[in-house]
Amino acid sequence: MTLFLATKNHQTLLIVVKAHPSTEITFFAITTPIETGGISAWPSDVNWDAPTSLVCIAVDENGSGRTPKRVVIAVSRKSPHWAKAWTSSEELIAVALGLMQEKHLILPETQTDLSAIRFLAMEIWGIRTYIVFDVFHGTYDPDKAHLAGENEVPAIPVFLGQKESASITGRPMTNKVNSDIRALHNATGPGSRPPFVVDHADGKVPYYPHPRAS
């Protein structure tokens, strides 16, 4: 379950959402206004089939907006950022944060809070480069990050191509991203620390001589 603050027609709403086994997020309860603290009926004027029509910022239990997030940047060869994806990943993290702020997926101060950002991994597959970083993941422990049940962080995909987008996503993609990050922590061996760099370009096959677990 995730809580969001949303604005519609200048009214502040608190929306409770849950992820179904698909790529979509389904809204199932709403309070309006948030000061009442009660769950109201579904409002008739909101198009619940198009949640991107709402402006949403995820908040934690204290309403601080500092919920952990795992951001996956997919950079295509058609992107003007392609050349820097492999050589200057930090610059693309800044681009992604700017796009996420435009979409109201993070608070404005996130971009300047360097302590909130943890660069985890970069992986190139020839036609795309993927960059993964965490935001506000204070409980991250690299010595346990390979274990099942660890690193369960909601994912936000950011696509950089001829067009650019950032959005919330559903459980399947979140599970896939978290599983891949756990696998990288495992493959790179005891004591390994991010960022992890994996090159699959031109048919390369990464070799990990000392994984944490067999």
Which residues pair with residue 165 across a beta bridge?
Answer: 159
Q: Which pLDDT belongs to residue 95? A: 95
Q: Which pLDDT belongs to residue 18? A: 43
Q: Which pLDDT belongs to residue 110? A: 84
Q: Which pLDDT belongs to residue 41? A: 36
Quick one: CA torsion of 165, 76, 163, 73, rounded to 10 degrees? Answer: 20
Average pLDDT on 12-31 reads 42
Is residue 30 pLDDT above 70, yes or no? no
* Strands (DSSP E) found in the chain: 2-8, 11-19, 25-31, 55-58, 69-76, 117-124, 128-135, 155-160, 164-166, 196-199
Average pLDDT on 157-183 reads 93
| Rounded CA separation 79/60 (Å) | 33
Q: Among residues of the chain, what percentage have pLDDT more than 90? A: 44
Q: Among residues of the chain, what percentage have pLDDT more than 70? A: 69
Give 162's contacts (C-beta < 8 A, 6+ positions apart). Answer: 76, 78, 79
| Rounded CA separation 117/120 (Å) | 9
Q: Which pLDDT belongs to residue 164? A: 95
- Reported as a pLDDT band with limits 50, 70 and 90, residue 185 is very high
Is residue 198 pLDDT above 50, yes or no? yes
- Reported as a pLDDT band with limits 50, 70 and 90, residue 161 is very high
Mean of the per-residue pLDDT values of the chain: 76
Q: For 62-76, 91-105, 123-137, 155-169, which range has the lowest pLDDT when averaged over its residues?
A: 62-76
| Rounded CA separation 1/20 (Å) | 11
| Rounded CA separation 132/119 (Å) | 6
Is residue 59 pLDDT above 70, yes or no? no
